[in-house]
Structure 1
């Protein structure tokens, strides 16, 4: 794993230098949107909803939409004036009982690893949290914004580690706009519900559960590959062991671009291999003829100079 943040946990006068690692990773199956006819990837353009023109990335700004639909444009200078922090401190505000924190508030999880001389105070904090059965409520600056989080102890295959879990702000938790109202349940119905709970009671083991959807998708894709159901496109990054001629691919791209603009492609767009093979022999012959002509001219020039010198010598005598 690669550390994404470095700082220190501070509680009282104690400071624990730590590294932060992402504790989770997504294994969701992702699909690309493609043209069903030929498998070509679908591209999207940044188009202005008012004039219909494509907008360059450099011309895109941040906009805040008001409740009445008005748009407020925020410049880079405006954004720079907003409160931000780059503190490298995880400040412990208080230690609270576990049951007081609703799991609904939890957002992202990170592992904390002690750095340098922080191993001993890290171990002391870990033991204190575990013995007190409490979580430490902290404030921390991640990605230029201060957020609240908790520190708790988690048992892993590598041993017990401290986990930092960022939390939603209270106003980010939605309140349901519905109520469930029923008549009082009969005692026998309540008893049967309790029996059902007891029948299915047990301990949680995450390894008992499996993402069967991802496995089914992989099996489906493999069966299609084995059956030859593959769309080969010019932008495919993998081939059946064939070496891609980069120059030829570039030339094809130029030709395709010209065709899209309504221009005619010339011989310069032809694959390099064909052009080279067609002009190899004539090129050598032409070069040979030019060399022979230059040598003949040089000999004639030298002969003329020699004759002139002899004539001049005879006159002088």
Structure 2
């Protein structure tokens, strides 16, 4: 069993549920070191005083905040510890909200919450099942590793899941970041065909159907280079569709999507027909064998 990275209590009303926090996700990136080109010499990073050029030990480094004009306010590590939220062991839920009301933009990282005390496992199950029945999530704040987090606590089948969230002022305004955006498309033929395409391409969400093909290609590249081979991938870059060709492109896309969907459905029907035929044939063979056996006995 994995070790909890945080432990404490979920508090809602006068109820306290002891829980542990566990990582729910892991990334599968390939690690690379840095080398000087043409050599096997590793590149190392050092903390160096830019004035003296001498390396500075970690314990002698402090933080400074730029206040403008080349001036910095220096802050000592113990000063940050004094003002940091206390090492709280409480996930204090102050409200429950409908899950559908939360914009996914606010979600940051997922963790599992597991019961840390077998004697209080029933209270864990009670909260989980109540959240599932109401389709709600508890909004809470907690402290982990010297930082305060906003979080949602929701039910996901057998387990409680905690999602750390961005605070409202951490989400950027798209108008400020992107400038003027296109107006509404209007209820024209293009919009109608775009809706038809979305409907034709719609399906069930199957996470296992999607794989990280880029990481696989990196692995193949590393393996090939290790064996002295060369790997070449030739793919054309996509080009923007000309506005005058959008309707034709949408129409062709809808037809292609519908054709692909009908092709997927056909093999399943054929397979079912074949099975029935095979079953009939085998049954016929068995009955023939029985008849010949009875004839022999009569003889």
- The TM-score, its normalising length taken from structure 1, stands at 0.66
Offset of 1:224 from its aligned partner? 2.2
Question: Paired residue for 1:114?
Answer: 115
Secondary structure of 1:81's aligned partner: helix
CA contact 1:18–1:118 (8 Å) conserved in 2:
no
Matches of 2:84 and 2:37, distance apart in 1: 48
What is the rounded CA distance, in whole Å, between the counterparts of 1:82 and 1:33 in structure 2? 38
Which of residues 127, 143, 161 is equivalent to 1:125? 127
Alpha-carbon distance in 2 for matches of 1:52, 1:149: 44
Over the aligned positions, Cα root-mean-square deviation in angstroms equals 2.0
Which residue of the partner structure matches residue 311 of structure 1? none
Number of residue-to-residue matches in the alignment: 225
Q: Kindly report which structure 2 residues correspond to 1:11-26, keeping only aligned pairs within 5 A, or say none.
A: 11-26=12-27
Matching of residues 59-138 of structure 1 within 5 Å = 59-116=60-117, 117-138=119-140
Look up the match of 1:255. Answer: none
Distance 1:149 1:110, change over 3 A: same
Paired with 2:116 and 2:143, the residues of 1 have a C-alpha distance of 19
Are the equivalent residues in 2 in contact too, given 1:95–1:135 (CA < 8 A)?
yes
SS at match of 1:110: strand
Q: Retained in 2: the 8 A contact 1:134–1:152?
A: yes
SS in 1 for 2:86: coil
Q: Distance in 2 between matches of 1:3 and 1:186?
A: 53
Gaps of 5+ in 1: 230-317
- Listed one character per residue, the Cα deviations across residues 142-173 of structure 1 (whole Å, up to 9, x for unaligned) are 11232210001124xxxx21001111111111
For 2:224 and 2:198, the matched residues in 1 are separated by 41
* Corresponding position of 1:194: 195
Q: Residue deviations 1:248-273, cap 9 Å, x none?
A: xxxxxxxxxxxxxxxxxxxxxxxxxx
Q: Residue 12 and residue 217 in structure 1: after superposition, are their counterparts in 2 closer, same or farther (change >3 A)?
A: same
Once the 2 structures are TM-superposed, how far is the Cα of residue 9 of structure 1 from its aligned partner? 1.0
Mapped contact 1:9–1:15 kept (Cα < 8 A): yes
CA distance in structure 2 between the partners assigned to 1:80 and 1:114 by the alignment: 30
Q: d(CA) in 2 for partners of 1:181 and 1:144? A: 43
Q: Secondary structure at the match of 2:127?
A: helix
Matched, 1:164 2:162: yes
Structure 1 residue 51: deviation in Å? 4.0
Q: Distance in 1 between the 2:165 and 2:183 partners?
A: 34
Cα deviation code 1:116-150 (max 9, x no counterpart): 22211111111110111111101111112322100
Cα distance in 1 for partners of 2:196, 2:18 equals 50
Once the two structures are TM-superposed, the CA of residue 212 in structure 1 deviates from its matched residue by 0.8
1:136–1:150: 8 Å Cα contact kept in structure 2?
Answer: yes
Q: 1:89 to 1:180 in 2, by over 3 A?
A: same
What residue in structure 2 maps to residue 152 of structure 1? Answer: 154
